[in-house]
Copies of this chain bind each other. A is one copy, B any other.
Amino acid sequence: MKRNYVKEVMELGETHEKLLLKGWVYKKNNIGKVCFLHLRDKTGVIQVVSERELCKDLRLETAISVYGRRSINKKAANGFEIQAEKIEIIARATYDKLPFVINKKEIEANLETQLNHRTIALRAPKQRAIFKVQGEIVESFRRFLREKQFTEINTPKIISSGTEGGSEMFVVNYYGKRAFLSQSPQFYKQMMVGAGFERVFEVGHAYRAELHNSWRHLSEYVSLDIEMGFIESEEDVMCLEEEWLTRLFSHIKKTCEAELELLGAEIEEVGKIPRITLARAQEILKSEFQKKSPEGDLDSEGEKLLAEHIKKKYTSDFVFITKYPAKKRPVYTMPDKNDKRLTNSFDLLYKGLEVTTGGQRIHEHELLKKNMIDFELDTNDFGFYLNTFKYGMVPHGGFAVGLERLTMQVLNLKNIREASLLPRDLKRITP
């Protein structure tokens, strides 16, 4: 007999057919001789009504098969319930005690406890809903880029030298040699543009040995990376991201309706995203909020205040901050042609948090080499990278989006760990 998912059963038209559902006992209530179960599967939760006798062995989280028919009950969620004719146990629950209650509106345990028992916490539909949305973010990213002639690549995460200057890297013993975990596929994605793929993207892990625990950093995260050749300037890159975000938000609305409702998240329209220079952003903070910023950057309080201002003035949750100073950006960043102290770079802030870094890159061999020397990097360490630039390297640029950060901001989560199935941080390496 074919299994029916809860969501299918909810959407069935008039039916008196016998159905087979499988899932876990989510709630259980005996009233007189009748037992009311809530059966939870991957797709939802449905009420099951049965004789008390049929349910007598069922502890919470037991896996069961339910054979029965659908009937109308206006009091049940979605107006339906299952009248059970037979219940079979698929797998017994053998725990002593659940680490916390998962069948109420919220899990009553702090985040650390939930993460310690992640496979239990994720049984709560609201927790799993986060990852449905995250999955659709990735799906939308890939689908959009494939349509735009981008090629998906997989690049090494074990590398011989750092791309961003070598700080905050995890060291790997690679057959007795000192190697590192990659902070970013930056060099490789540029090389693949040069190798003739022209436009590439990667969805892969990136590693940062962050020396403090924060609500917005992970030691291992998923980076959504793109790099594209034949651009005019970083404006092409920002336009591409803008177009994707517009597409993404409509994709999420369409594919995650139930999840967004469960999570109480509203998805607003993405319009034209304002672009303001860093210098202008710092001025606004000073004049509007009497807020001083660190040299060549914004701090997290500044990002939040700026978001308020932008929201009020442009009704946008997003803002591109452009033209960061050269000394605050990585070695490969293209200098601004009008003012060499500035660069063709940008950050994207979303609800007051940086979710993207991007820009145009240097494509001239001599300029890149000179920059490496200015940055006190050993050009021999990066020969494999630098070499690519001798063979007609075209103007190019790209960006990187932190997947967990974007998920967190879309869903208004409080801590980035909520947007990682099994987060890694300064203190956490299990489960």
Among A138, A199, A394: residue with most chain B CB under 10 A: A394
Given contacts A177-B429, A196-B42, A205-B205, contact A157 B160 (CB under 8 A): no
Contact A42:B95 (CB < 8 A) given known A119-B191, A172-B172, A194-B119: no
What's the nearest-Cβ distance from chain B to residue A313, in Å? 34
Interface residue A422 (Cβ < 8 Å from any Cβ of B): yes
With A91-B393, A157-B220, A196-B40: A230-B422 Cβ-Cβ less than 8 Å: no
Kindly state the separation between the CA atoms of A132 and B63 in the bound complex, as whole angstroms: 43
Tell me what chain A mostly uses at the interface: helix, strand, loop, or mixed: mixed
Contact A392 to B151, CB < 8 A, known contacts A170-B172, A181-B172, A191-B431: no
A173-190 at interface with B (beta carbon < 8 Å) = 173-175, 177, 179, 181, 188
Q: Is there a chain B Cβ closer than 8 Å to A414's Cβ? A: no
Q: Does A61 contact B (CB under 8 A)?
A: yes
> Are B392 and A91 in touch, CB under 8 angstroms?
yes
- Report if A195-B119 is in contact (Cβ < 8 Å); known contacts: A131-B151, A363-B91, A390-B95: yes
Contacting B at CB under 8 A, from A60-82, are 61-63
Q: Tell me the complex Cα distance, A42–B194, Å.
A: 11
Docked-complex contact B157 and A61, CB < 8 angstroms: no
Q: Given A149-B42, A395-B90, does the pair A422, B365 have CB atoms closer than 8 Å?
A: no
Interface pick from A295-303, A318-326, A381-389? A381-389
User: Contacts A63-B394, A91-B363, A422-B155 given: A384-B430 contact, CB under 8 Å?
Assistant: yes
Find the B residue at minimum CB distance from A161.
B430
6 smallest A-B Cβ distances: which pairs? A384-B431, A122-B195, A63-B392, A119-B195, A42-B198, A95-B390
